[in-house]
Structure 1
Amino acid sequence: MIRLRHIDWGMMGALAFLAAAGLVTLASVAEEFFPRQLGWYLGALAIILLAAQVDWKRLGSHWWFRYGFYGLSVLLLLISNLQSATIRGTKSWIVVGAFQFEPAELAKLALIIVLAHFFSRRHVEAWYGKNILVSFMLMAVPMALIMAHPDFGSAVMMVAIWIAFLLAGSVHTKRLIVGLIAAAVAMVLMWSFVMRPYQKDRVVSFLFPARDPLGASYNVIQSKVAIGSGGIFGKGFGGGTQARLHFLPAAQNDFLFAAFTEEWGVAGGAALLLTFALFLYRIGAVGLRARDNYAWLIAWGGGILFAVQSFINIGSNLGLLPVTGLTFPFFSYGGSSLLTSALLVGIIQHIKIESR
């Protein structure tokens, strides 16, 4: 049994602040979601503490665990594509009665576990053609199923995780250039043949927000109004008119950062971002002290997942990036993202404990 003093409490303290900020904002702008989110936070805490006691290195050394977990995530993605139920126009969720689960969140974690082990054995050869191809296929299978939902945001995260593992290896300039060109070509092909009209509208509205202020650009415009109206110190708890009067759609998840900043101002938003930076710093510190490549690559992949996802969420709230539907980890409303993120943090906590 692992003693609590071995836990990275700096990381846990940062998560506690993020959770408290999220709950306070929900209580103000969308109080009907508060009880369920509180329950998920308690479940997330239990998952972190339990997962920290599991020997993930030993489990990860077995191919049946790595690829069984990966295969389960792919199977769940396939099931979600085959079901008839849709939520907000996508098949991103498995719905069984009142239970809803987003398998793309599990797929991100499964990809990190598989790629971390794959590249831990081939660290100095990460950019060999064969390794690039095999790792790409491991990423492409779940990404294609996610795109079929369609869920462009989670698909982008799968690609980001894969690229992050490539960059963790020895980068050859020529191959990096080739990879960037290939990524550009892939984006053109996705725009032409894969992306749905509403997804294209989000990109166009991001580039030209004045083109459709009451349609595709409405959410981002209202988000920017909410952030701007908060000023330096905000309007205080319960004073966020944009969210409370429902001018700001999806305030509980996609735009919770905007709702928070309206009530607590730029100062509150900065405190939130600094706290999240502390969380990422603690993950980085754990990775640097890891005893082997597999452990540090898991920490690396987890840090990249949290950093990129939060960057995209905040960027879309500020109107700097298109809206993708990605949540702010440990802050936005949502059970699937929170619980799978908690499992990843529990694994990282075990790495810290093992390296003490």
Structure 2
Amino acid sequence: MVDKRVRRLRATTMNHFVRHYLNILKKLDWIMVGTVGLISFFSLLSIYNLERGGQIFYFRKQLIFIAVGFLLMISLSLFDYRSFKSYSSFTIILYLITLLALSAVLLVGRRIRGTVGWFSFGGIHFAPVEMAKLAVILLLAKYFSLRHIELYRIRHLVASFFYAGLPVFLVLLQPDLGSAFIILVIWFGLVIVSGIRFRHLVVILLIGAICFGATWALLLKDYQKERILTFLNPQKDPLGYSYNLIQSVIAIGSGQVLGRGLDNATQTRLHFLPEAHTDFIFAAAAEEFGFVVVVFLFALFALLVYRIIRTGMFAPDNFAKLFSLGISLMFLCQIVINVGMNMGLMPIIGIPLPFMSYGGSATMINFIALGILQGIRVRSSRF
């Protein structure tokens, strides 16, 4: 009799948990999941074409990154995001670990293309700057959600800049101008929506101009300055600093309307286009698939950003709203800068294209961010 009751209780408990998690899965934003899946598909297709006939090393690793990323996203949707809001120690510890990692990478990190920004563990590289973006968004969302009614006080504005400025300073020492810029844009965007006096905004812009000048004079290496300047006049050094830019524009133009196909994409297949699996994967996709697919990719990225913003609009509290805004700014900045780099409209500063560029660190952090967003959606009564 007792055994039957125990078995019945276990079965009831199990059924309760199964129904609970099925209800959570039903509330996920499956449009967002499908959008990321399609973008990842084009990423894998481009990387595979680049390595076709070889050992498809990058393809296999990116496939693993994406598969693990999807599992992380679904798993984190079960996690109650309010823990980040309710327990300050959790968010602060993550932020401090990030600062420690950014400091340590300057001492023992691996230098790739002039930037000391990666820890190397065997064949795996980890870039702590990607974790820094997420940690800063979490911390600022928590801070502004508590202090938004007092943001007119300059001390709260200064404190928020301090939280963003510390990782920015460490990132500039690598030096990684692009990631530092994105963190600052995230901070600035959250400050604007949280409420700020006009005179404080003017002061921020003036200080920003001064800091940019100091960064240009003291922190940027000569090759980084040349990268920034040569995009204004690519023909100045076509075989040097402008080479990547020129080859990228050629690849995009040669794709025309329907693309050259996987076999005839000579810029990509013959390796004229450098970093075709990372910074210039957009140009590789444009050559292979053409204008039609490029427009489709633009639509997918726009839909992704819209779904993130929509999650924030219907979020149940200020923390969730600000976090959603921060993530949308992070993705939007990376998309605009990367595509601008590929098209010759912006200087080449090494920003990956979300869910398309090869890279475990960025891919995992992007999926983790979406997992937290899915958790926000699941716990909102508006969905």
The TM-score range, normalised by the shorter chain, is over 0.9
Match for residue 257 of structure 1?
A: 282
Q: 1:10 aligns with which of 14, 17, 31?
A: 31
Q: What whole-Å deviation, never above 9, does each CA across 1:157-202 have from its counterpart, x for those lacking one?
A: 1111111111111243222222222211211111111111111011
TM-score by length of 2: 0.91
User: For 2:203 and 2:254, how far apart are their aligned partners in 1?
Assistant: 45
User: For 1:348 and 1:154, how far apart are their aligned partners in 2?
Assistant: 22
Q: Tell me if the contact between 1:30 and 1:251 (Cα under 8 Å) persists in the aligned partners.
A: no
- The Cα shift of 1:127 comes to 4.5
- The Cα shift of 1:120 comes to 0.3
Q: Tell me if the contact between 2:109 and 2:117 (Cα under 8 Å) persists in the aligned partners.
A: no
Q: Which amino acid aligns with 2:21?
A: I
Match for residue 22 of structure 1?
A: 43
SS of equivalent residue, structure 2 residue 125: strand
User: For 2:306 and 2:375, how far apart are their aligned partners in 1?
Assistant: 17
Match for residue 107 of structure 2?
A: 82
SS of equivalent residue, structure 1 residue 122: helix
Q: Tell me if the contact between 1:116 and 1:297 (Cα under 8 Å) persists in the aligned partners.
A: yes
Match for residue 124 of structure 1?
A: 149
Q: Which amino acid aligns with 2:148?
A: H
Q: What whole-Å deviation, never above 9, does each CA across 1:89-145 have from its counterpart, x for those lacking one?
A: 221001122231000000100000000000001223335311111011111111111
User: For 2:112 and 2:201, how far apart are their aligned partners in 1?
Assistant: 38
User: For 2:75 and 2:151, how far apart are their aligned partners in 1?
Assistant: 33
Q: Tell me if the contact between 2:311 and 2:373 (Cα under 8 Å) persists in the aligned partners.
A: yes
Q: Tell me if the contact between 1:109 and 1:344 (Cα under 8 Å) persists in the aligned partners.
A: yes
Aligned positions of 1:81-160 closer than 5 A: 81-83=106-108, 85-160=110-185
SS of equivalent residue, structure 1 residue 232: coil
Q: Tell me if the contact between 1:70 and 1:110 (Cα under 8 Å) persists in the aligned partners.
A: yes
- The Cα shift of 1:236 comes to 1.6
Q: Tell me if the contact between 1:280 and 1:307 (Cα under 8 Å) persists in the aligned partners.
A: yes
User: For 2:51 and 2:299, how far apart are their aligned partners in 1?
Assistant: 25
Segment of structure 1 superposing worse, 135-144 or 345-354: 135-144
Q: 1:62 aligns with which of 79, 87, 91?
A: 87
SS of equivalent residue, structure 2 residue 21: coil
Q: Which amino acid aligns with 2:300?
A: T
Q: Tell me if the contact between 2:245 and 2:341 (Cα under 8 Å) persists in the aligned partners.
A: yes
User: For 1:318 and 1:259, how far apart are their aligned partners in 2?
Assistant: 12
SS of equivalent residue, structure 1 residue 237: helix
Q: Tell me if the contact between 1:127 and 1:169 (Cα under 8 Å) persists in the aligned partners.
A: no
Q: What whole-Å deviation, never above 9, does each CA across 1:218-247 have from its counterpart, x for those lacking one?
A: 101100000011111111223211111111
- The Cα shift of 1:84 comes to 5.6
Q: 1:207 to 1:127 in 2, by over 3 A?
A: farther
Match for residue 184 of structure 1?
A: 209
User: For 1:279 and 1:127, how far apart are their aligned partners in 2?
Assistant: 33
Q: Tell me if the contact between 2:171 and 2:180 (Cα under 8 Å) persists in the aligned partners.
A: yes
Aligned positions of 1:152-301 closer than 5 A: 152-301=177-326
SS of equivalent residue, structure 1 residue 92: strand
Q: Which runs of 5+ in 1 are unaligned?
A: none
User: For 2:357 and 2:156, how far apart are their aligned partners in 1?
Assistant: 36
TM-score by length of 1: 0.97
Q: Which amino acid aligns with 2:290?
A: G
Segment of structure 1 superposing worse, 29-38 or 250-259: 29-38
User: For 2:299 and 2:152, how far apart are their aligned partners in 1?
Assistant: 34
Q: What whole-Å deviation, never above 9, does each CA across 1:7-55 have from its counterpart, x for those lacking one?
A: 1011011101100010111111234211110011000001101111111
Q: Tell me if the contact between 2:278 and 2:358 (Cα under 8 Å) persists in the aligned partners.
A: yes
- The Cα shift of 1:306 comes to 0.5
Structure index of larger Rg: 2
Q: Which runs of 5+ in 2 are unaligned?
A: 1-19
Segment of structure 1 superposing worse, 92-101 or 250-259: 92-101
Percent identity between matched residues is 37
Q: Tell me if the contact between 1:286 and 1:348 (Cα under 8 Å) persists in the aligned partners.
A: yes
User: For 1:268 and 1:99, how far apart are their aligned partners in 2?
Assistant: 31
Q: Tell me if the contact between 1:157 and 1:308 (Cα under 8 Å) persists in the aligned partners.
A: yes
User: For 2:337 and 2:48, how far apart are their aligned partners in 1?
Assistant: 24
